Structure 1
Amino acid sequence: MSTEHAIPIVKDFFAAIGRGDEDSLMALVAEDIEWIIPGDGWPLAGTHRGHVGVAEALRKASQEVETTYPKPPEFIAQGERVIVVGVATGKIKATGRSFEDE
């Protein structure tokens, strides 16, 4: 897969997340996906593996956090690898604690 094909797939991935569209999300990702969400002290941080891990992260996101993205993310690609650089802000529903994650 070339860079010109990889970035639109990753953009579609994030659009499906924004819609909470698990079916579209799973159609976009390989069964052996490894999705790393950096951060510390918030429910979504960690490495999510496979369709089960991605589905669980999506469910956790909708149930446990309110997230906003103050500016569009940057997509950096080389071959089949895409890195998404951005900032997420919001609050953890259970505690009301706000977060900012780069």
Structure 2
Amino acid sequence: MTENPHISVASGFYDALAKGDLDILRGLLTDDVVFHVPGRGPMARDYSGKEAVLGYLSHLAEATTSTLRLEPQDYLAGSDRVAVVLTIHGERDGRTLNDHGLQLFRLSDGKISERSSFPYDPYSVDEFFA
């Protein structure tokens, strides 16, 4: 069975993120991409545009000295969306983050145009990055 093309894009996003490959990530995003990051912490806000999103992803890697891992468990695909159930692990300043949640991607013309994150415990994510 052939993998859904939307799942391939989302999977490619996580693979490139794990490798820290900004060139591949850049190619997976639309120019007007928006990432919605929930919570009340310093990282929580909407990131609009390719450069803002790449800056956010780079900041995540820097803040965790590249220990942050988003590990997909399941993918659910629709006509223009992919929901990803994932676990989240990271270390920062002697603290550890272990959470799970969901990320919802919207795709346009084979690229990511929007991502919304829904961590199980957004307050623990806020505290981790504070």
Q: TM-score range with shorter-chain normalisation? A: 0.7 to 0.9
Q: CA deviation at 1:26?
A: 0.7
Identical pairs, percent: 28
Determine helix, strand or coil for the equivalent of 2:12: helix
Cα distance in structure 2, aligned partners of 1:101 and 1:46: 19
TM-score, with length taken from structure 1: 0.75
| Superposed counterparts of 1:1-102, under 5 Å | 4-38=4-38, 41=41, 45-65=44-64, 66-69=67-70, 72-92=72-92, 95-102=93-100
* Higher helix fraction (1 or 2): 1
Q: By how many angstroms is 1:85 displaced?
A: 1.4
Over the residues paired in the alignment, what is the CA RMSD in angstroms?
A: 2.4
Query: What's the offset of the Cα at 1:78?
Result: 0.8
Question: Which whole-Å CA distance do the structure 1 matches of 2:49 and 2:22 have between them?
Answer: 13
Q: Which structure 2 residue ranges, 5 or more long, are not aligned?
A: 101-130
Aligned to 2:123: none
Preserved contact between residue 6 and residue 81 of structure 2 (Cα < 8 Å): yes
* Counterpart-to-counterpart distance in 1, 2:29 and 2:96: 30
**Count of aligned pairs:** 96
The alpha-carbon distance between structure 1 residues 13 and 68, as it changes in their structure 2 partners (threshold 3 A), is closer
